[in-house]
């Protein structure tokens, strides 16, 4: 009984992390990523204060989104795809390919060429189809909408990007 009060459950911990990466959870909780991996693997009990901190952070985020006009999951992403649709996959539009790659491997958005190589090499179309069947693709789209707020500011600055061609996306503000 006492141990239950001192430690939280893994289900509750995972529910409050909302699909964040281990590094992001560690950053939020201000601990090392190994600690989070040990919690998830069941090697270490999860202290109650970690779960309470996650719960408070979720409440703060919810309150901030209600008080400010932050883009919600129903808003359109801040960027649009700068790629052509795949004729072999008419059921997967470029915007969905962009969202998948942006969430799972954002560094491949730096150019159309690297984006196309990633989509073809990692069979992204089939992964999107599977995620749609399993009902997990909506979470990818929601995460993508959150990331696109910062994306135009993060990418494509400096000499390294001078000769690689256009990126796989375009900022909506510059196209309007």
pLDDT digits 0-9 by tens, 66-98:
664 434 444 566 677 777 788 888 899 988 998
Q: What is the pTM of this model?
A: 0.50
Report pLDDT digits (tens) over 146-167: 877 665 544 444 444 455 555 6
Lowest mean pLDDT among 60-64, 103-107, 158-162: 158-162
Closest CA to 20 of 48, 56, 58: 58
Please return the burial class of 1, using the count of CB atoms within 10 Å of its CB with bins 0-12, 13-18 and 19+: exposed
Cβ atoms of 140 and 99 within 8 Å: the answer is yes
Go through the domains of the chain in sequence order and give each one's CATH number. Answer: 2-67 (1.10.260), 79-175 (no CATH)
């Amino acid at each position: 009984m006492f141990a239950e009060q001192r430690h939280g459950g893994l289900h509750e911990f995972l529910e409050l992390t909302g699909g964040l990466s281990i590094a992001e959870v560690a950053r939020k909780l201000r601990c090392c990523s190994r600690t989070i991996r040990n919690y998830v693997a069941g090697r270490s009990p999860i202290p109650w204060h970690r779960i309470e901190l996650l719960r408070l952070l979720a409440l703060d985020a919810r309150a901030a989104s209600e008080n400010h006009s932050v883009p919600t999951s129903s808003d359109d992403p801040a960027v649009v795809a700068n790629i052509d649709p795949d004729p072999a996959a008419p059921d997967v539009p470029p915007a969905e390919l962009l969202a998948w790659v942006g969430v799972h491997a954002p560094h491949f958005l730096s150019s159309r060429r690297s984006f196309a190589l990633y989509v073809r090499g990692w069979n992204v179309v089939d992964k999107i189809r599977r995620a749609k069947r399993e009902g997990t693709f909506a979470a990818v789209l929601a995460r993508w909408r959150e990331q696109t707020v910062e994306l135009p500011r993060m990418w494509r600055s400096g000499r390294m990007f001078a000769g690689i061609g256009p990126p796989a996306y375009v900022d909506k503000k510059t196209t309007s």
